């Protein structure tokens, strides 16, 4: 059994993936959000990192055409790394947001612009169709997604997209989308420090409907796009010491324990951190440890 399979598997529609995946945003140098971590790693090293992930069993990659910096495109790197592995790896991308060539954010795409975004992802990834496309909404403030999601459903019927998902949504969006076409995954910010998806019932709703819930920022938490900083949560340190694990591994394990439908897509450019993230899938937390992690962290107050 591969390292990434230790946490088990889940199906995105008919596509079975290991629950530990990989998020490609950091391969760009993180410049896409204006929080650059510096010059991105060399292209060959980036492709080598992806190959290492695949060899450790990662078969679920998260990306987007708007994941780019002045020097790197996540889709281009994935295309290069997957030249002979497309049948083995599920690539999930997002549409809705867009950036111009200088990196400035543009308004949310109109429904009639979504086909162009899908086709751009197809071109960059070197595919004839996309495995999964998430409509990235950006929060519950968008009152209706029916027109946008309807366009993607039409592209699914036309064969450009295999499965559909949502990102940055609330339960009301899931219900609206499900009435149009099947939703296989929901990707939202979620972790120990940000549990809005629990407050709204979204995590449980996804489990009840057989939809994968895919947290992002599960490790970086409130730092969001920035790299994870020094761990200040006493609860996390306590559990990490008990397992001879890293705080990041504990945070990932906590999300995976939330339910068998919860996946993980941590991103990194460090081979050692990649191996640690993947190994988090084998970390089993006790009921007492989970209860401890669910208590307020007094040391962080």
CA distance linking residue 196 with residue 230, whole number of Å: 23
Known active-site residue 86: no
Q: Which two tokens stand for residue 286?
A: 């006790």
- Scanning the structure block, which residue is given the tokens 């592209």? 155
* Helix residue spans in the chain (DSSP H): 43-55, 74-81, 114-125, 146-157, 171-178, 196-199, 202-208, 234-243, 247-256, 271-279, 287-293
32 close to 99: Cβ distance less than 8 angstroms: yes
Residue 163 structure tokens: 């499965």
258 Cβ contact partners less than 8 Å away, ≥ 6 residues apart: 203, 213
Of the residues 22, 67, 86, 190, only one is catalytic, namely: 67
Cα 182 to Cα 140, 153, 164, 177, 279: the distances in Å are 20, 9, 7, 7, 32
Give catalytic residues, as residue numbers: 67
């Amino acid at each position: 059994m591969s390292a990434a399979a230790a946490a088990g598997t889940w199906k995105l529609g008919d596509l079975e993936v290991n629950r530990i995946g990989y998020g490609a945003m950091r391969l760009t140098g993180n410049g896409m959000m204006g929080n650059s971590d510096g010059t991105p790693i060399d292209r060959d090293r980036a492709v080598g990192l992806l190959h290492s992930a695949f060899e450790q069993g990662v078969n679920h990659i998260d990306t987007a055409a708007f994941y780019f910096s002045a020097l790197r495109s996540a889709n281009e790197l994935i295309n290069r790394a997957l030249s002979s592995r497309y049948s083995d790896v599920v690539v999930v991308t997002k549409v809705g947001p867009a950036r111009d060539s200088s990196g400035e954010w543009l308004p949310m795409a109109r429904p009639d612009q979504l086909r162009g975004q899908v086709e751009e992802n197809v071109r960059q990834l070197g595919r004839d169709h996309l495995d999964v496309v998430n409509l990235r909404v950006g929060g519950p403030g968008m009152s209706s997604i029916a027109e946008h999601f309807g366009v993607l459903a039409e592209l699914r019927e036309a064969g450009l997209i295999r499965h559909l998902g949502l990102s940055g949504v609330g339960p009301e969006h899931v219900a609206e989308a499900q009435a149009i076409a099947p939703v296989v995954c929901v990707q939202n910010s979620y972790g120990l420090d940000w549990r809005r998806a629990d407050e709204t019932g979204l995590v449980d709703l996804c489990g009840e409907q057989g939809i994968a819930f895919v947290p992002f920022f599960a490790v970086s938490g409130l730092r969001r796009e920035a790299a994870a900083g020094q761990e200040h949560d006493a609860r996390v340190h306590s559990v990490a010491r008990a397992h001879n694990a890293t705080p990041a591994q504990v945070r990932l394990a906590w999300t995976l324990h939330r339910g068998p439908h919860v996946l993980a897509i941590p991103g990194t450019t460090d081979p050692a951190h990649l191996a640690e993230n993947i190994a988090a899938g084998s970390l089993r937390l006790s009921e007492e440890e989970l209860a401890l992690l669910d208590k307020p962290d007094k040391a962080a107050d």
